[in-house]
Amino acid sequence: MRSALPCGPLDPKKQYPRLSTLGTSKVVTNTVTYSTLFLTLLMMVGLFFFIRASTKDRTETLVLHRKTPPQLLLQELRTYFEARAYTTQDVNGEANTLALQGFVRPSWFLAIFLTTLAAVGALCLALVLASLFPLYGRVFMGLILLAPAAGLYYWQRAGREEQVTVQVCPESLSALEQHSQLTVIAHRDELIALQKSLGKS
């Protein structure tokens, strides 16, 4: 025969947990966890498209006006791009056009940056999944090992042959000065570097 457990009077000053309160707290915790998982998945989708967009072609057109004769300006631009490892494909002196080709190297900084973003995103997803399924926590942490694939994907896709097209049109603003309108079609980074170079000259 089991002895009865001692049962003393309840302390009116002490707050005892209620079953209904514990159940409600568990439901709220699960709701927050699943909401966090949903937001994390949205973040991973955005990260995927961001990595994919980093390898897209970003060819743009730049139009500038220079106080330089067309022939002289065309020669300066040819010298500038050849110094940046571009090779001349075609020169048309009558139309004042120039076509060049060069290999654009991928950026080490961007490759490391994308790998870091992928690692952080994978870590966040692994932590949320581990909180929902504790038995597979170590398995989910293995998602971080997939982060270098983002940098490798960028490195293989970003390096490509780029075309540069230059056209210089004369502008007769006055009889004493020869001005030129410069139109360059190239990668956005090359156009930014060209603007900086022309701004210093």
Q: What is the pLDDT along the chain (201 residues), one digit of tens a residue?
A: 455 545 556 555 665 555 455 456 556 667 788 888 899 999 999 999 999 988 888 889 999 988 888 888 899 999 999 998 899 999 888 888 999 999 888 889 999 999 999 999 999 999 999 988 888 888 999 999 999 999 999 998 888 888 999 999 987 656 566 788 899 999 888 899 899 888 765
Instruction: Show the tokens assigned to 3.
Output: 């002895």
Q: What pLDDT, on the 0 to 100 scale, is given for residue 101?
A: 93
- Tokens at residue 180, please? 């030129």
Residue 29: its pLDDT value, please? 66
**Strands annotated E in the chain:** 59-66, 87-92, 97-104, 160-171, 179-187
Give every CB contact of residue 179 below 8 A, 6+ residues apart in sequence.
Answer: 65, 66, 67, 68, 170, 171, 172, 173
Q: What's the token pair of residue 62? A: 């730049």
The 8-class DSSP code of residue 96 comes to: T
What pTM does this model have?
0.65
**Per-residue pLDDT at 1:** 47
Match 């020669």 to its residue by tokens: 75
Whole-number Å distance between alpha carbons of 122 and 129: 10
At 143, which amino acid appears?
Answer: L
* Domain ranges, ordered by start, for the chain: 22-53+106-158, 59-104+160-201
59-66/97-104 β-pairing: unpaired
Helix (H/G/I), strand (E/B), else coil: 159? coil
**Can you give the pLDDT at residue 137?**
85
Contact 51, 157 (CB under 8 A): no
Q: What is the CATH number of domain 59-104+160-201?
A: 3.30.310.220
